[in-house]
Amino acid sequence: MIVMLAACVAAWGRQKADAPKESDEIYAVGGDVKPPKIVHYVEPDPSDQETYVEGVVRIAAVINLDGTPSDLHVVKGLNDAEDKLALEALRQWRFSPGTKSGHAVRVKINVEINFHLL
């Protein structure tokens, strides 16, 4: 019984050593780093203003281990109002986290939010 327990502990130690460190390291998608997937999406809500602009707001973000976006900043915007709406919507999105070698990691992504005339 003791030998079996020691073998299990040794195997568990190897698995932990192979797993990416739970740190603040942020990965880029590619190779063995797989992108996060959207599980909850929120449209920008222009209900308090009229949208007279068409275009795309591109936002850089980091998707955390719990699927929440953080470190959001506008890479390419339309104007202050639409940029703010896009950021507010993206803060409400949820993702399944990106993975590296099958383990959840923080991943940097770019998100494009489209605005169309109504």
Which residues contact residue 22 at a Cβ distance below 8 angstroms, ignoring those fewer than 6 apart?
A: 65
Look at residue 17 in the predicted model and tell me its pLDDT: 46
Look at residue 48 in the predicted model and tell me its pLDDT: 59
Look at residue 23 in the predicted model and tell me its pLDDT: 61
Look at residue 116 in the predicted model and tell me its pLDDT: 82
For the chain, percent of residues with pLDDT exceeding 70: 75
Q: What is the dihedral of CA 32, 91, 83, 48, to 10 degrees?
A: 150
- Listed residue (111, 113, 95, 103) closest to 27, CA to CA: 103
pLDDT at 102 > cutoff 80 = yes
Where do we find the tokens 């797993």?
19
Q: Where are the domains of the chain?
A: 24-115
**What does the pLDDT look like over 32-87, one tens digit per residue?**
999 999 999 999 987 656 657 889 999 999 999 999 999 999 999 999 989 999 99
CATH level 3 topology of 24-115: TolA/TonB C-terminal domain (3.30.2420)
Look at residue 64 in the predicted model and tell me its pLDDT: 97
C-alpha distances in angstroms, 90 versus 1, 29, 47, 61, 102? 52, 19, 17, 9, 25
